[in-house]
């Protein structure tokens, strides 16, 4: 049972039924829009619902099927888009006052690829302003609520996308992940969320936060649906200078290959500081990997403990550069003033929220004369150390395992006035962004409070195939829905050994 009622059909199964004529895209999309209309007033997953466009697109998909044409692997599947993905002629606001009403003249590459695959966009989802946050509470349009408990946050910054999938509004959504913004809300909302290798999914049309860290990825209710979506949106894009000009791993076709004979490393440092019931779930996930024939051992990557400090210098520094374009002149909000300099200040003062201002100031300071080497330069050296630490771990391990979030979903408002506590929400996810490696969060039971826990798998660059194989194993062995999470938090150390014991 999903938090919104009946569990929606998996995306790939829906697409197959629509392509075969068994179901009509129009009826599937109407069901999605009805679910949104029924409950989104309570949850606020969407900044904009595209009902008319979605109905017209669904009718076109049905016309293609009737004519004997193949609309694509995601034919008629409702998809929600994070509101920092450009959509031609459709508001793209990044949940910020400074971009209210801005309509891009082009589509992001991922939006084009979804359309070619037959998907139907049903709306633009709420997010932390300019993707800066871990709870979707910094949005200028108000917070999103967790479908499992509306007094709790859905995570962030892609909280609207995660909550939309968890609530059954759409079987698929896209988000962006700069320091965990797909995986952390996926864990808190109990859905699958995946961050690809940096450069495997085009960033063209993604409104930039931190350009060396941002990646677009899928949310889904199943690992197979996330794999199918990654296969659709991945691949080289000449419009993106950071796009890898090499074959992107295909993942849907390898899901059944299992992990027998592989080595899974449980990262000791990712368990440090996590709640006891979360740690217990990760140790149970390790047992599932062992039962599937993998060797599971505890590994140490001490460099990941430096990730948070390095990230909160690198990301704000890049943000301070990227957000300089919002000056009241070229597009977006303009607050009139006697001269250009005053107009610029007034526009940014009115247009940016407190968290965005905090990060711009932090980043500008880190890049300023006299401080660059001590802060930004040092953070880049730490980033290199983190990459080297992962390289050592992958010499003996095929994939790594740890929690996605150190806690389950926390109450709305609890961390808003404590930035450090909020930033610590991403302590388990940030290292993969700094390294540029792929990672995925898979729902794995609940904590003692009955809220979802996510198990995070990490793989080396371009290791998406093995990552999804391991994710499929965890999904198959996850506790059943409704499991109260009765796992002994004091269960022993990480599993070490060959296969099931």
pLDDT tens per residue across span 67-89: 999 999 999 999 999 999 999 99
Rounded Cα distance, 204 and 131, in Å: 16
pLDDT, position 330:
85
Contact in structure between 191 and 481 (CB atoms under 8 Å): no
Handedness of CA 83, 89, 90, 96 (dihedral sign): positive
Catalytic residue chosen out of the listed positions 32, 139, 161, 181: 181
- Crossing angle, helix 307-322 and helix 354-367, to 10 degrees? 100
Look up 82 and say whether it is catalytic. yes
Mean pLDDT of the chain: 94
CATH architecture of 11-242+253-305+384-498: Alpha-Beta Complex (3.90)
Handedness of CA 130, 133, 138, 139 (dihedral sign): positive
Look up 124 and say whether it is catalytic. no
* Per-residue pLDDT at 128 exceeds 90: yes
- Crossing angle, helix 25-43 and helix 11-20, to 10 degrees? 150
* Per-residue pLDDT at 53 exceeds 80: yes
* pLDDT one-digit tens code per residue, 440-469: 999 999 999 999 999 999 999 999 999 999
Sequential DSSP letters for 206-225: BPPSSTTT-EEEEEESSHHH
Which two tokens mark 256?
A: 């059944």
pTM for the model stands at 0.94
pLDDT, position 441:
98
Average pLDDT for residues 175-196, to the nearest whole number?
98
More confident residue, 9 or 92: 92
Catalytic residue chosen out of the listed positions 157, 158, 176, 243: 157
Which two tokens mark 318?
A: 């890049």
237 beta partners: none
pLDDT, position 483:
63
DSSP 8-state assignment for residue 437:
-
How many Cα neighbours within 13 Å face the side chain of 73?
14
Residues 6+ apart with CB under 8 A from 446: 190, 408, 452, 453, 479, 483, 484, 485
Catalytic residue chosen out of the listed positions 32, 82, 202, 405: 82
Segments making up each domain of the chain, as ranges: 11-242+253-305+384-498, 306-383
- Crossing angle, helix 223-233 and helix 11-20, to 10 degrees? 70
Look up 181 and say whether it is catalytic. yes
Average pLDDT for residues 12-20, to the nearest whole number?
97
Q: 404-424 burial by CB neighbour count: b if 16+ within 10 A, else e?
A: bbbbbbbebeebbeebeebbb
* Per-residue pLDDT at 482 exceeds 80: no
pLDDT, position 492:
40
């Amino acid at each position: 049972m999903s938090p919104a009622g009946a569990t929606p059909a998996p995306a790939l199964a829906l697409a197959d039924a629509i392509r075969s004529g068994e179901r009509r895209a129009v009826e599937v999309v109407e069901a999605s829009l009805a679910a949104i209309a029924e409950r989104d007033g309570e949850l606020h997953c969407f900044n904009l619902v595209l009902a008319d466009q979605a109905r017209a697109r669904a009718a076109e998909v049905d016309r293609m099927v009737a004519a004997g044409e193949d609309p694509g692997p995601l034919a008629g599947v409702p998809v929600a888009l994070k509101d920092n993905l450009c959509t031609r002629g459709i508001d793209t606001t990044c949940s910020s006052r400074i971009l209210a009403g801005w309509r891009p003249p082009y589509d992001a590459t991922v939006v084009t690829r979804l359309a070619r695959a037959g998907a139907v966009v049903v709306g633009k989802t709420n997010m932390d302003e300019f993707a800066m946050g871990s709870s979707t509470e910094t949005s200028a349009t108000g917070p999103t609520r967790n479908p499992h408990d509306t007094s709790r946050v859905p995570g962030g910054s892609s909280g609207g996308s995660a909550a939309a999938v968890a609530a059954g509004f759409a079987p698929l959504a896209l988000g962006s992940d700069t320091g965990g913004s797909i995986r952390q809300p996926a864990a808190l909302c109990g859905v699958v969320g995946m961050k690809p290798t940096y450069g495997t999914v085009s960033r063209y049309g993604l409104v930039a936060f931190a350009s060396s860290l941002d990646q677009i990825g899928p949310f889904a209710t199943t690992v197979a649906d996330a794999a199918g979506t990654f296969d659709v949106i991945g691949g080289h894009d000449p419009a993106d200078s950071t796009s890898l000009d090499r074959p992107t791993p295909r993942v849907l076709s390898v899901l059944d290959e299992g992990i027998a004979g592989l080595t899974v490393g449980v990262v000791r440092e990712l368990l440090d500081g996590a709640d006891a019931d979360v740690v217990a779930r990760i140790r149970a996930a390790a047992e599932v990997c062992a039962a599937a024939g993998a060797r599971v051992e505890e590994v140490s990557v001490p460099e990941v403990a430096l990730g948070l400090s390095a990230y909160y210098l690198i990301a704000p520094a890049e943000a301070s550069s990227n957000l300089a374009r919002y000056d009241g002149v070229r597009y977006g909000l303009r607050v009139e003033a006697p001269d250009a300099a005053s107009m610029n200040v007034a526009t940014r003062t009115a247009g940016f929220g407190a968290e965005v201002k905090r990060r711009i100031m932090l980043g500008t300071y880190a890049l300023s004369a006299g401080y660059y080497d001590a802060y930004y330069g040092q953070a880049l050296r730490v980033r290199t150390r983190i990459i080297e630490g992962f390289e050592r771990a992958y010499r003996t391990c095929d994939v790594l395992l740890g929690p996605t979030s150190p806690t389950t979903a926390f109450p709305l408002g609890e961390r808003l006035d404590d930035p450090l506590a909020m930033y610590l929400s991403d302590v388990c996810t940030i290292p993969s962004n700094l390294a540029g490696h792929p990672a995925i969060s898979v729902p794995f039971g609940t904590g003692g409070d009955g809220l979802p826990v996510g198990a995070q798998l990490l793989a080396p660059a371009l290791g998406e195939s093995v990552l999804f194989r391991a994710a499929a194993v965890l999904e198959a062995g996850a506790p059943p829905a409704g499991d109260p999470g009765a796992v002994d938090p004091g269960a022993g150390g990480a599993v070490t050994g060959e296969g099931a014991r």
